[in-house]
Amino acid sequence: MKVLVTGGHGFLGRRLVGALLERGALTGPDGAEHEIERVVVSDIGSGETLPPADPRVEHRIGDFSAPGAAEALVDPDIGVVFHLAAVVSGEAEQNFDLGMRVNFQGSLRLLDAIRARGACPRLVFASSVAAYGGDMPGIIEDSTILTPQTSYGSQKAAVELLLNDYSRRGFVDGRALRLPTVVVRPGKANAAASSFASAVIREPLEGRAYACPVTGECEVWLLSPRRAVESFLHAANLPAETFGTSRAVALPGMTVTVREMVDTLRASAGDRVAARITFAPDPFIEKIVYGWATRFRPERALAMGFAPDADFPSVVEAFIEDDLGARIVA
């Protein structure tokens, strides 16, 4: 069986590809487990680091949202699709046309290419809790209506609706995961409004000063990269009837303030490392971030077998182990 990963050179995509290769098998459209014979990794650029070298991996460099690109990626042998490619939140807010072209129209082209092949693969879509917004209750329930207040969140919510309808029609077997902010992201900061939630841990640990664009009281709903990848794989293996008519689910996470993040950093790495953090609130970032939901009751996801991280210190420890080689710049 072939597996397609869009956005496969991103930090979650690389981890997912590595996990697929290590796992070696995945549940296919027929509900049976199949050996993974090929992983087609699509991304707009090669990135700083590619997924592990493996004869089962085929790299396709290019913009998946360009006319004809999705049709070239999809063939009847693809049994599972992981759709991670996207323009991130801050960039989608600053460049409406780019966000619409990639996040919405590109996803629609991918769905239409799958429909044209007629194979009905399982498709796991990386959605976002940015799909919530506006006048929200204190705790987001599974029944809370989506009222996104950013272009990024609106684009993600729109694709969720498409995924529901394409699944209802039998064109695809879709599963959308509303991801919390995934922390800690390695490498350079990107244009995501949530980038600070990783940078406030990553930059000091790597020996750099960091000016945080939100206050210490800012709350974030978080999930580690390890748990995010586990969630993608778990979603792909679940029977379609587990999702039923609603193909989107908000994943479990944890609510952490930036102040608590700094305190965890101090406990893990010492005062000298924590002292590299200063605060310089940015109104553009704050307007986006303070409009996001930060407290959830994800009963449906928990019942489906999705799991949160144990605590925030374990998230930081995982980053130090996975991405820093257990080395901190004191």
Amino acid at 95: N
Torsion angle in degrees (nearest 10) through CA of 322, 285, 139, 152: -80
Structure tokens at 148: 């996104």
Has residue 276 been placed in a domain? no
Alpha carbon distances (Å) from 91 to 53, 95, 98, 195, 285: 31, 6, 8, 12, 11
The dihedral region occupied by 27, where left means phi > 0, alpha psi between -120 and 50, and beta the remainder, is beta
Has residue 231 been placed in a domain? yes
14 pLDDT more than 90: yes
123 pLDDT more than 80: yes
Give the C-alpha separation, 123 to 5, whole Å.
10
Has residue 330 been placed in a domain? no
Give the C-alpha separation, 225 to 246, whole Å.
25
Give the C-alpha separation, 128 to 305, whole Å.
19
DSSP reduced 3-state for 223: strand
What residues form DSSP beta bridges with 34?
26
Has residue 285 been placed in a domain? no
Has residue 7 been placed in a domain? yes
Q: Which CATH number does the domain housing residue 91 bear?
A: 3.40.50.720
Structure confidence by residue, pLDDT tens digits, 54-98: 899 999 999 999 999 999 999 999 999 999 999 999 899 999 999
Confidence band, pLDDT 50/70/90 cuts, at residue 281: very high
Give the C-alpha separation, 34 to 269, whole Å.
44
Q: C-alpha 159: how far from its chain's center?
A: 14
Mean pLDDT of 251-255: 98
Q: C-alpha 79: how far from its chain's center?
A: 21
Mean pLDDT of 191-218: 93
Are the CB atoms for 184 and 129 separated by under 8 Å?
no
Confidence band, pLDDT 50/70/90 cuts, at residue 187: confident
Give the C-alpha separation, 80 to 3, whole Å.
5
192 pLDDT more than 90: no
306 pLDDT more than 70: yes
Establish whether the linkage from the previous residue to 184 is cis, with ω within 30° of 0. yes
* Res 50: pLDDT: 61
Has residue 84 been placed in a domain? yes
Which residues form the domain of 61? 2-180+224-250
To the nearest 10 degrees (0 to 180), the angle between helices 107-117 and 151-168 is 10
52 pLDDT more than 70: no
* Res 291: pLDDT: 87
Which positions are catalytic?
152
**Total of domains in the chain:** 1
Confidence band, pLDDT 50/70/90 cuts, at residue 330: low
Closest CA to 2 of 80, 64, 73, 112: 80
Confidence band, pLDDT 50/70/90 cuts, at residue 226: very high
Are the CB atoms for 249 and 243 separated by under 8 Å?
yes
Are the CB atoms for 55 and 20 separated by under 8 Å?
no
Has residue 172 been placed in a domain? yes
Has residue 15 been placed in a domain? yes
Structure tokens at 131: 């799909």
18 pLDDT more than 60: yes
Q: pTM of the predicted model, to two decimals?
A: 0.94
Confidence band, pLDDT 50/70/90 cuts, at residue 169: very high
176 pLDDT more than 60: yes
Structure confidence by residue, pLDDT tens digits, 292-304: 899 999 999 999 9
